[in-house]
Each structure stands twice: as structure tokens, then as C-alpha cells.
Amino acid sequence: MIDRRSLLRTGGVLAAVGAVPLAASAPVVAAPQAPAELPTRNPLVEQRADPFITPPTDGRYYLTGSVPEYDRIVVRGASTLDGLASARERTIWRRPATGKMGGYIWAPELHRIDGKWYIYFAAGDKDEPFRIRTYVLESANADPRQDGWVLRGQIVTHLDTFTLDATTFAHRGKRYFLWAQNEPSVGSGTNLYIAEMASPLALKTAPVRIATPTLSWEVQGFRVNEGPAVLVRNGRVFVTFSASATDARYCMGLLTADENANLLDARAWTKSPQPIFATHVPTSQYGPGHNSFTTVGDMDVLVYHARDYRDINGDPLFDPNRHTRVQRLHWNADGTPSFGVPVGEGGPISRLATLDGLHVRHYEYRLRVDGNVRELADSQFRFVPGFLGNDTVALQSVNFPDRYVRVDGDVIRIDPFEDSDAYGRAASFRRVPGLADSKAVSLNVGADSYLIHDRGRLVAGKPGNDRDARRRATFRLE
């Protein structure tokens, strides 16, 4: 992607060649900052697949995940999510040279339960690396990076078959175990199962199958439901999971149950008919999946892996470049999660909200203002350096990063970048204190003209001293 700071490669010609001046007296506001502690770097950590980041625990986040060699379990910690990128990584366990667990080591998860740390992980045997079963490590230390981990053995389920991607969560005074496993009577591939736990080391109840890959997007390459992750919010229990082969077809689905339901009843769970997170070519993010969740303040954060290229030589399982990525998880008005698209490289992401709580979004590339925008990425933008010098900004679309907000008469669109003076003039703004609320922002187009929302449309106009028009030219950043 073109570096917009050296845009046009003409030594700032736009600022010098007949540019239509913006309001010279308009004070410029600094570029927006990312929400506290939420990283904008992408990826956060390279070559760590199946990433699991704990909720903040005693002031720290801890990260574990699959390493490309599939031979060990690693943990790193930091006081912020961004700090995990450069944090020292400790190997807390290595596979034995022979016998059980001497094969592939996959998808560790780190959980703090009753004052101890537990790591659930999948391991194959030395002579049968794909004889994958689920095992658990335990540590009484306060810091999971310290030595002292003890192998507690295998988590025994109802079948002695291919088993992986275990997670655990507590709900309504009970602890549950949720995992992926092959059941020969159902067919090839893996299904999702849930059971109540007697302890962090054993199941209490018979497993219940709650999901089987049957939809077209779940059976690409392989029949796969795996990598469950749990989030309890808004009166419901949400379980994300991953589906299909681990290449660009890999994607995420969603199961939902009422928080008061019997979670051990398969009928309590509903599967969304379409994937909720998938490859997005415009942002060069391929095969997003095997996620976890953490929090920053009151924000929910989606943690996942993805590649930044589609084509893979050989078995995708052994391509090392599934990188750990994070982005904010939003929520729809009905209390369901809104994932958007896997975002690419760039700075902080903003949503522009009217003072009435509606959002600026693009629809068929035209900008408008709507309520309850379920297509989250259509309402996400990045403020980047503008095309008319350091005191201007441009608004880059998040899901179409080659497009910028551009004024064309009475139409405001996101248009593909063009190396021209006209494009630079039409796609540059000055971001100033909000005309109706100084804690918000207004976007000055030129002279006394601003972006204004008008009966659902976004237009350029002169609000003057009209109170209502000045309110409609003011936007809060979220």
C-alpha cells in the first residue's frame, strides 16, 4: 500500500499547485488516539497460531499459542496488550523425545482456576504424530512464566479419538469443558462437545455434541468445527468456532445459547447460518480463525490468527505465518457480537457517530448516516495524513483500504486513490473541534463548508450559525 506520508511522490505538489485552500483559520485537532492500550500494530506477534490471551490477571496479560515447530509450549506476559509484542517468551514445557506427547503440540490455552494455572493442549505421539489427544499442565505459581509446571495427564472424554482445542469457562456456579473431537459414527472431521467438569483435571458429566460441520462454509477441504472460544454477554452465551481447512478457506462461525438455558442440552444452541469472520481480500487477511477473547477496560477484544497472503506451498498446516492479531469486538443493538472484517495494517480505527447516536457508514461506496449498522466495517475509518500537507487529514476506509472519503459536489463517496491534484483536493479535510460540541469533531471541507448529515445522506454544506446545522456537522469519535 502507498505510504500516504510520501503521497504522490511529487514533493508535496498538491499543496503548491492550484489547491483550493481549506479554512485557514480552522484550528487543527491532533489525530485520534487508539483506545487505551489497544494495539494498532498488525500483526501483534508473528508466527504464533491459535493465540490465547488471558483476561488481565493481577495487572498482566499472558499469551500462549502454537509455535511453527509444534514442539513446545511458550508463555509471554506484559502489562499491556501492545507490550506482548516485544515481551520475552519463556518455554515452560517441551515434548518428550519418545512415546506419548512426543508428536505435534497444538493450541495451548492458559486458564487461572481456583488460584492455580492450567494449560490445556493437544499432543500427538512420537510414532503417531496425528494421534492427537488433550492433556493438561498445572502450576501453583502466581506467574505462569515460572518453572514448576506439572503434567497432570490426559483429559479423558467419551471416545478415544482425535481430540483437540479444549477450552474451559465458568457459568452460573459450574465449570464447563468445551472441545473438538472426531466421532466415527458421525463421520470424518471434528465436532464440538461440552461437559461439566468435576475439577480442572476431569469431566463430571457425559459429553454432549453441540455442533457438527454441515454447512457449505464448514466443509471446505475438511469437515471441521474446532477452536471454540466463549464469551458471556447480554443474557447469552456465545461460542465462536473455526471451520474448514487451515488455508484461506478457514473462517469462524457462531453458536448462541440463552444464559439461563441448560448448556448441556444440544437444543439450547443455535448456529448462525453464515460465517461471522472470514478472509477479506481487500485487507490482505486470509484464513482468520482459532480465536480467543480478552478485554481492555470495558472493551472486548478479539484475538485471532491470520495470514497476509493466500497462496501456500505445501500443506498449510506447516506454513509458519499464521500471526497473532487483535482488534476491538463491537456489539449490535440487539446484544449480538459484531466482528467486522479482519483489519489490515494501519493506525487507530474510528467510528464517527452523530450527536443523535447514528453512525457514518458507506453503502455502495456512498456515505450516509444510519442507526444499528450491522455491517461494522462499513462504519470504520482511519484518520491518515491528508493530501494537502501536514495540517490536513484523510479518511481511509478500513474494509477497502485503497479508498478514501472524497467530496464530489453533493455526493460524498469512498473512492479509489488517484495520483492527481483533483483527488487530493477532494479527499483532504481539516479536523477541527466540533461546531456544536468541542469534545467532538467537525470536518472542514473548504472555506466555511463542512461534512453535514442531512436526512440520512452525508453532504458538504455551510452550517453558518444555524444551531441544528452545526449539530449535524458535529461527530463523536468512537
Out of 50, 109, 125, 319, the active site residue is 50
Helix (H) or strand (E) holding 88: none
Judge contact between 431 and 393, C-beta under 8 A. yes
* Helix, strand or coil, per DSSP, at residue 9: helix
- Report how far residue 136's alpha carbon sits from residue 406's, in angstroms, rounded to the nearest whole number: 55
C-alpha cell at 421: 491534484
β-pairing verdict for 174-181 and 286-296 = unpaired
List, as one string, the DSSP characters of 129-193.
TT--EEEEEEE-SSSTTSS--EEEEE---SSSS-EEEEEEEEETTEEEEEEEE--TTT-SSBEEE
Is residue 125 annotated as part of the catalytic site, yes or no? no
Is residue 226 annotated as part of the catalytic site, yes or no? yes
Torsion over CA of 339, 341, 347 and 350, rounded to 10 degrees? -50
CA atoms within 13 A of residue 301's CA, in its CB half-sphere: 27
- Report how far residue 415's alpha carbon sits from residue 405's, in angstroms, rounded to the nearest whole number: 7
* Helix, strand or coil, per DSSP, at residue 329: strand
Judge contact between 173 and 87, C-beta under 8 A. no
Out of 226, 247, 415, 421, the active site residue is 226
User: Assign residue 372 a region: left if phi > 0, alpha if psi is -120 to 50, beta otherwise?
Assistant: left
- Report how far residue 153's alpha carbon sits from residue 333's, in angstroms, rounded to the nearest whole number: 44
C-alpha cell at 362: 458507506
Q: Which residues are catalytic?
A: 50, 226
